[in-house]
Amino acid sequence: MTTFVDRVELHVAAGNGGHGCASVHREKFKPLGGPDGGNGGHGGDVILVVDQSVTTLIDYHHKPHRSATNGKPGEGGNRSGKDGQDLILPVPDGTVIQDKAGNVLADLVGHGTSYIAAQGGRGGLGNAALSSARRKAPGFALLGVPGDLQDIVLELKTVADVALVGYPSAGKSSLISVLSAAKPKIADYPFTTLVPNLGVVTAGSSVYTIADVPGLIPGASQGKGLGLEFLRHVERCSVLVHVLDTATLESERDPLSDLDIIEEELKQYGGLDNRPRIVVLNKIDVPDGKDLAEMVRPDLEARGYRVFEVSAVAHLGLKELSFALAEMVGAARAAKPKEEATRIVIRPKAVDEAGFTVTLEEDGLFRVRGEKPERWVRQTDFNNDEAVGYLADRLNRLGVEEALMKAGARSGDGVAIGPEDNAVVFDWEPTVMAGAEMLGRRGEDHRFDAPRPATQRRRDKQAERDEAAQEFEGFEPF
Ligand SMILES: Nc1nc2c(ncn2[C@@H]2O[C@H](COP(=O)(O)OP(=O)(O)OP(=O)(O)O)[C@@H](O)[C@H]2O)c(=O)[nH]1
Ligand SMILES: [Mg+2]
């Protein structure tokens, strides 16, 4: 028996970036060549991609931990490390991705639609890439950044044009089996269908998909029977079909009250009011069924429904039904705005415009949050003084030191960069540059009596630009 899973929690880990390499070129008779340490490779991403041949999330139920591969470290001789491989995870059409709090991160509809669930860590720059006019022979390299770790929830909302709803044993699965090539389980006991079935119908030149959901009973909205949980699979349909049983032996039931009850449950579920609906009176091969169908038809039509009398078992009225559905699906598709085909919600970045925030916490700790400062800290080899100095320069240039001063930080105060559970904490020692920055613009420090000559200022500016450009080429601008 194939199992169907429509909700899983998935833990994804992107690959770590490879460390940059610090190395000095050596050649016979040229002992002091330039720095030639290569960059580390980037870690692989974890990417979810809609694949129409996948119909359930069962694979992720069995294996909920997935990771991409790490980038390789850089090597001497300017050899860059290889990038890690992206991990592509195929998911069914209609997979909704949420974070653990239930916020929708992406809604993947349409073959090939993709979403990067975890971003690979950047490779660290080697000392060759870190060298500049001002820093000719850096004796350090940047560390690779760890890849993203994400816990996400995948939920499948089947994408079908037409959805069949009705009481258990009304014949929904039977209808799918005769309208399409799908072969769902059919039996004469209630709740035969425990998971949605999906079939593809060809009617003339049009092709559409049709799905059923487990039967509904009065009180489904209070969790009776299988409840309303499966109705999420009809949320995306453009046409709803009420399948009414004209041959039920239960004395208190008849097609009209069945319809009322199902409509009431749909209303409880919500969000389906605007779907066009039609009524199918099934089982007219049974003599009493045919009579009952004819009896209720005027009532149903008076309520505004188009009514089709069919028999799934005797194959009556099916052609008319399938062409009518094709027509309704066609109209719905034509009315649908194009961009609705693919809906991706880009995760908003939780940083302000400056790229970082500084907050003073209750215990007197200053906390710095921001994508760049947090990454830079992770790229730093704290055993290497030069690397730490480079970090200080970067933080300074971004304005972190200045912001700390403005927030009231003084020499010796504790500063944490990063989230509570994963921060680098150190005693703050403002650099001279930061002090200078407070007094004037960089390079125009009023504390120096004689201003630097213009040529020197130009050279310094150029060196600064070089450095920024280097980072830009390989990675990103400051
Ligand atoms: N006589 C007759 N029996 C039918 C017809 N359609 C379905 N049945 C029978 O009704 C019973 C239930 O059919 P299903 O297709 O499993 O019903 P369902 O609506 O999918 O039921 P659930 O999955 O439980 O919600 C089966 O025994 C079918 O053979 C029909 O047109 N005529
Ligand atoms: Mg069924």
Q: What is the mean pLDDT of each run of 10 residues along the chain (478 residues)?
A: 72 97 80 86 95 85 95 95 96 91 89 91 94 86 94 88 94 94 82 81 90 87 80 88 94 93 92 94 95 96 96 96 95 74 48 74 91 91 90 89 89 89 83 42 38 56 56 41
The answer, yes or no, to whether any atom of ligand 1 lies below 6 A from the CB of 185, is no
104-108 and 95-99 as β-strands: parallel, antiparallel, unpaired?
antiparallel
The answer, yes or no, to whether any atom of ligand 1 lies below 6 A from the CB of 286, is yes
The answer, yes or no, to whether any atom of ligand 1 lies below 6 A from the CB of 19, is no
CB-based burial, 304-334: b 16+ in 10 Å, e otherwise: ebebbbbbbeeebbbeebbebbbebbbebee
340 Cα distance to chain centroid:
17
> 3-class SS at 308?
strand
**In order of start, what are the domains of the chain with their CATH numbers?**
7-156 (2.70.210.12), 162-335 (3.40.50.300), 357-443 (3.30.300.350)
Q: Which ligand 1 atom minimizes the distance to the CA of 175?
A: 15
Distance (Å) of CA 403 to CA 108, 395, 399, 416, 423: 41, 10, 6, 14, 18
219 Cα distance to chain centroid:
34
Test site for ligand 1: of 4, 165, 169, most ligand atoms within 8 A of the Cβ: 169
The answer, yes or no, to whether any atom of ligand 1 lies below 6 A from the CB of 289, is no
Which of 343, 336, 210, 341 is CA-nearest to residue 278?
A: 210
The answer, yes or no, to whether any atom of ligand 1 lies below 6 A from the CB of 196, is no
Q: Kindly give the residue spans of alpha helices, DSSP state H, lying in 82-152.
A: 127-130
462 Cα distance to chain centroid:
42
Here the tokens at position 359 are: 């907050």
The answer, yes or no, to whether any atom of ligand 1 lies below 6 A from the CB of 177, is no
Question: In sequence order, what are the residues at sequence separation of 6 or more whose Cβ sits closer than 8 angstroms to the Cβ of residue 256?
Answer: 296, 299, 300
Give dist(CA 26, CA 77) in Å, integer.
Answer: 9
The answer, yes or no, to whether any atom of ligand 1 lies below 6 A from the CB of 233, is no
The answer, yes or no, to whether any atom of ligand 1 lies below 6 A from the CB of 214, is yes
pLDDT at position 182 is 81
Distance (Å) of CA 60 to CA 6, 10, 416: 10, 7, 37
- Would you mind telling me the total number of residues written for the chain in this entry? 478
Residue type, 27: E
pLDDT at position 350 is 47
The secondary structure element, H or E, covering residue 385 is: helix 385-398
In which residue are the tokens 């066009």 written?
276
pLDDT at position 9 is 95
* Ligand 2 ion local residues (Cβ < 5 A): 172-173, 192-193
Q: Tell whether residue 167 is among the known ligand binding residues.
A: yes
The answer, yes or no, to whether any atom of ligand 1 lies below 6 A from the CB of 312, is yes
- Ligand number with the minimum distance to the CA of 166: 1
Give dist(CA 120, CA 69) in Å, integer.
Answer: 9
Q: How many angstroms is it from 168 CA to the middle of ligand 1?
A: 8
pLDDT at position 355 is 85
pLDDT at position 135 is 82
Q: How many angstroms is it from 309 CA to the middle of ligand 1?
A: 15
Q: Tell whether residue 282 is among the known ligand binding residues.
A: yes
Give dist(CA 412, CA 429) in Å, integer.
Answer: 6
Give dist(CA 171, CA 212) in Å, integer.
Answer: 10
pLDDT at position 181 is 83
Test site for ligand 1: of 186, 212, 285, most ligand atoms within 8 A of the Cβ: 186
Distance (Å) of CA 478 to CA 254, 273, 472: 71, 51, 8
277-282 and 239-245 as β-strands: parallel, antiparallel, unpaired?
parallel
To the nearest 10°, report the CA torsion of 427, 433, 439, 445. 160
Q: How many angstroms is it from 238 CA to the middle of ligand 2?
A: 20
Give, rounded to a whole angstrom, the gap between the first and last alpha carbons of the chain.
Answer: 56
Give dist(CA 72, CA 123) in Å, integer.
Answer: 8
Q: Yes or no: say if 245 and 174 are a contact pair by the CB < 8 Å rule.
A: no
